[in-house]
A and B are shown apart, each in its own frame.
Chain A
Amino acid sequence: MQPFRTHTGTAIPLDRSDVDTDQIVPAEYLKRIERTGFGPFLFAEWRKDPAFVLNDPRYEGATVLLAGANFGSGSSREHAVWALEDHGFRVVIAPSFADIFRTNCTKVGLLPVQLPAATVRALMDAVLADPAAPLTVDLEASTVAGAGVEASFEIDEFTRWRLLEGLDDIGLTLRHTDAVAAYEATRPSWLPATAPSA
């Protein structure tokens, strides 16, 4: 995973609430068995509408996505995060996120930034007025600055450290293999196993 420290880029306003992961990447594109190359399928249906904000040339090259509440609801598909990342986004800012989507973001290195609805509204209004306004998202300081807005956000310490260092969880957990083995030794024998029963 690529470390995330500070990112400066322009932002694009996706002014809709409850954007579900079926919209972020429709199911028909989930048949690929690779992890890369999902960018072209990002918001595949909505992009067919010429008026959709992702088709607005003024926002071309934006790396920060501003969205409405409950972003990323529905399906657990990590493909949604892969598509956002592959398209070039490094940060998503929203008033709230669906839990699984938020977790998926932090595993991939796309930074989910939760800010109060009024702050997100102010950011959207600012970039609607000036699409070229750059935003700086500083994970170390946990701040967002730019477009006339300054705000700080919360993120749990462990996730912040992991993103700053670009560490993946598996390597970290494998350091505790002894604890896993010790736990396994305490598991009752009647618990189910999946091997076909005799």
Chain B
Amino acid sequence: MFRILVSCSTIWNKGETGSAERPPGRRWSGTVGQTLSQKVWEQHVVRRAEGEPDVLYVDLHLVHEVTSPQAFDGLRLAGRPVRRPDLTVATMDHNVPTAPGPEDPTSVRQMDALARNCEEFGIALYPTGHIGQGIVHVIGPQMGLTQPGLVIVCGDSHTSTHGAFGALAFGIGTSEVEHVLATQTLRANRPGSMALTVEGDLPPGVTAKDVILGIIARIGTDGGVGHVLEYRGSAIRSLSMEGRMTVCNMSIEAGARAGMVAPDDTTFAYLEGRPHAPKGSGWERALDHWRSLATDPGVAFDREVVIDAAELTSYVSWGTNPGQTVSIDGFVPDPASFHDPVRREAAERALAYMALEPGTAIRDIRPDTVFIGSCTNSRIEDLRLAAEVVRGRRVREGLRAMVVPGSMLVKAQAEREELDRAFRAAGFEWRDAGCSMCLGMNPDQLSPGERCASTSNRNFEGRQGRGGRTHLVSPAVAAATAIAGRFCTPADLGVDVPRAKGA
């Protein structure tokens, strides 16, 4: 079952003039008849004026080395300080090497620039070599900085990850990074609201990654443009926080402005006791606020999509955008089967780039490399699941396999659980934390023509290295594929993966 309901009446549109007149001081009180994203948005409006985008307050600004140097230069040129260094945090992730070896001087220069900028402007930095270092979207939640109801931004499109907590989290460009550094606000037009409801029990072996790949395969890479997605329904509620992060992470792959899940007891349990989570009476007050954020009953979204969880399966992308995805039980499609000429032409181009023939069974495709990592799938639950699959087995001969934990703390936790031993014994490389082969800014890259089963988020041409061919999969499929040497599931190997919570 798959249906799209487009609702004509939206509370948000109706409320546009009325909400502008709302007296200040009600910002942090609950409002009636709003979606989760609308509530968080309205609570952060610093200024609203007719004919202008809203000025939104930013609670947390995450910074990394690639999209920030020009923003800091802009501040210096204008003689402007960072307004709230105490709401800003930086790490090094995109460029960092994950193994010993010669360092690229241009990468080093960019990381040095971040270190200098953070020192000059008084920003907390988790650099390479620090136990707190890691992928920016992994360390925010890990530290408890990512909390429900916050507006969070970062110069990275996968900032949508933080929406898993019920935060409104936007990826922004460098000009906006500079704007946030200087003003602690973002200027933006109110997005539409879109509900993605996944109801029912996920079939055995179907993971959070499969949920989001299945969603994107249905709504397309521009299905969410202009909207904040709210993931709802029993299948979403059943996911762990890490699973919800995986789902929200790829909201941008559906073109969405952001993705969110309403905070609940799973969220609160994850947060309690983390270093930056509220403590004592602050925790109680925070809980009261967080519980008020869920979408009000009966509120109509601008668009609604309902998916039956039972229809979801394990997915593998075959093309060069994340919407070009099929079931692992399926076949590479024939471009002629697409009625839309734009999609047909895109499929022809993709198959030529991917060197795939229409009608090829997905299970007959043989990757050269398996990459387990990225802000989509590099957290401890991902690694536990993958380790479970490979424990006591060997990576197929001739196949390169690597695990890149999302943060140095995830790496340390995995080593405490001896997951690294399972991976190493199976023939995987066990690396330090970073973005790594997700985008190949460090030496972890595919060679031209190399085919990769990857737990990352983008299968764009050349994304993992010039001429590289990427197939997006879950950690479970990636691990099983590393063993079999062709796409397969843990079940194909006789491994029983427990019903999805995360990954």
Contact = CB atoms under 8 A, between A and B. Distances in A.
Contacts of B145: 192, 194
A170 B78 contact: yes
A10 interface: no
Given A22-B463, A70-B225, A33 B179 contact: no
A99 B255 contact: yes
B450 to A, nearest CB: 15
Interface string B171-188: 111111011001111011
A103 interface: yes
A107 B176 contact: yes
Sorting the interface of chain B by its residue count into under 10, 10 to 19, 20 to 34 or 35 or more gives: 35 or more
Interface string A154-198: 001110000000001110111011011011101111111111110
A128 to B, nearest CB: 15
A94 to B, nearest CB: 11
B286 A68 contact: no
A66 B206 CA distance: 41
Contact of A45 (B147, B175, B466): B466
B485 to A, nearest CB: 28
Interface string B95-122: 1000000001011011001000000000
Nearest to A18: B321
Interface stretch (B21-29, B196-204, B425-433): B21-29
A190 B460 contact: no
B53 to A, nearest CB: 6
A54 interface: no
Contacts of A27: 94, 439-441, 463
Contact of A186 (B28, B106, B253, B275): B28
A108 interface: yes
Contacts of B46: 176, 179-180, 183
A72 B258 CA distance: 16
B183 to A, nearest CB: 5
B398 interface: no
Contacts of A18: 221-222, 321, 346
A20 interface: yes
A158 B47 CA distance: 14
Contacts of B286: 188, 190
A70 B255 CA distance: 9
B150 interface: yes
Nearest to B106: A31
Interface in A127-166: 156-158
Contacts of B124: 194-196
B458 interface: yes
Given A70-B225, A174-B183, A191 B150 contact: yes
Contact of B222 (A96, A100, A170, A195): A96
A17 interface: yes
A34 B110 CA distance: 10
Contacts of A186: 24-25, 27-28
A53 to B, nearest CB: 14
A173 B182 CA distance: 9
Contacts of B175: 78, 104, 107-108, 168-169
Interface in B448-462: 458, 460-462
Nearest to B281: A190
Interface in B325-356: 342-343, 345-346, 349
A154 to B, nearest CB: 13
Contacts of A16: 345-346, 349
Contacts of A196: 124
B157 interface: yes
B70 interface: yes
B89 interface: yes
B173 to A, nearest CB: 4
Contacts of B87: 193-194
Interface string A86-114: 00000000001011100110011000000
B360 to A, nearest CB: 22
B91 to A, nearest CB: 11
B233 interface: no
A30 interface: yes
Nearest to A97: B225
Contacts of B276: 192-194, 197
Nearest to B340: A17
A170 B182 contact: yes
A74 interface: yes
A158 B462 CA distance: 37
A70 B172 CA distance: 17
B168 to A, nearest CB: 14
B460 A23 contact: yes
A107 B178 CA distance: 11
Contacts of B439: 22, 27, 75
B183 A170 contact: yes
B275 A69 contact: no
Interface string A9-39: 0000000111010110011101111110000
Interface of A: 16-18, 20, 22-23, 26-28, 30-35, 45, 68-70, 73-79, 81, 96, 98-100, 103-104, 107-108, 156-158, 168-170, 172-174, 176-177, 179-180, 182-184, 186-197
5 contacts: A23-B462, A31-B441, A45-B462, A179-B47, A192-B150
Given A27-B439, A192-B277, 11 more contacts: A16-B345, A31-B441, A45-B462, A103-B188, A107-B173, A169-B187, A180-B185, A184-B184, A187-B57, A191-B147, A192-B145
Question: What are the 10 A-B residue pairs with the smallest beta carbon separation, nearest first?
Answer: A190-B282, A107-B175, A78-B173, A104-B173, A33-B69, A194-B89, A190-B278, A31-B106, A78-B174, A76-B157
